[in-house]
Structure 1
Amino acid sequence: MWEFVLWGMLGGAANRGVNYLEAAARVKGGKPWRRPKGPGGGAYLAALVVHLFIAGVTAGAASTLVQGPTVWMIFGIGAVAPAAVKKAGQYALALAPSGDTGEDADELEVGEDDEK
């Protein structure tokens, strides 16, 4: 199973490499993690670690569910996993209630509730 986790992490690294190339093209020759056009090196490294973790866990779980998994299948699952989790998170946030009660909290004055 551990070899499949590593192959999944390699797929996640490939996904992250494509993300890097897209970001480098957007920044036009600069390093995408450098400020002011990027979040900084710490945030970029944290995102890399999280993507590799998601890819490894997903690939490890998939390798136990599939009978006779191949290395390329697990590599592909690891490459797709971070993007799929990101998309699922976006859907979950869109469906979650916003918690907005319709009143702007900044407009409420102290003691306003006492008058009601």
Structure 2
Amino acid sequence: MSVWVLALWGLGGGLAIEALDFFKAVRRVGRGWPWRYPYGPGGGPYLVSVLVRAALSAGVAGAAGASVDCVTPLIAFALGTAAPLILEKLSQQIPVEAGLPLPDPATGADGPTLSQESLPRRERPSDDVEITGMGEGRDAAR
């Protein structure tokens, strides 16, 4: 089967997930569109996120079709369905630093900068840290 056909099946899987997310958001809001203030970022960012995730789904299914000969439309659809979910779970693992100051355009102050002077250096572990061996660890503390 053609790589482009498999990519379209992946696109269909990604759009199916987007449709389910849309229906879930509509039910959460109750009345009105889920991307309107105060429930969402707006129509433009919402559309961009849908297009990016759908393109990711098509890309994953197309790449699988190009690399393996036994990819069927059902597998391509499943890969397209899984791609946005995997991306979402991976993005949840990235810590977000909320305490950083933002640039202030009114005063011209820049945002946070990283310099060698601002980084703390440790020459050796502090005295309150206990270093244990391989067999010890969590189980030994219990």
TM-score range, shorter chain: 0.7 to 0.9
Residue 40 (structure 2) aligns with = 38
Residues in 1 aligned to 2:31 and 2:58: alpha-carbon distance in whole angstroms: 31
Q: State the structure with more CA Rg.
A: 2
Write the mapping of 1:1-116 to structure 2, written as runs, cut at 5 A. Answer: 1-91=3-93, 93-94=94-95
Q: Which segments of structure 1 move beyond 4 Å, counting only runs of 4 or more?
A: none
Q: Deviations over 1:58-84 (max 9, x none)?
A: 111111233321101100110110110
Q: Which has the higher contact order (CA 8 A, sep 6+)?
A: 1
Residues in 2 aligned to 1:34 and 1:42: alpha-carbon distance in whole angstroms: 10
Residue 106 (structure 1) aligns with = none
5+ residue gaps in structure 2? 100-116, 118-142
5+ residue gaps in structure 1? 101-112
Residues in 2 aligned to 1:29 and 1:66: alpha-carbon distance in whole angstroms: 45
Residues in 1 aligned to 2:58 and 2:71: alpha-carbon distance in whole angstroms: 15
Larger helix proportion, structure 1 or 2?
Answer: 1
TM-score (norm 2): 0.62
Q: Deviations over 1:31-79 (max 9, x none)?
A: 1112222211001101111111110111111112333211011001101
Residues in 2 aligned to 1:13 and 1:26: alpha-carbon distance in whole angstroms: 20
The letter of the residue matching 1:75 is F
Residues in 2 aligned to 1:17 and 1:6: alpha-carbon distance in whole angstroms: 16
The letter of the residue matching 2:22 is Y
Percent identity over the alignment?
Answer: 36
TM-score (norm 1): 0.75
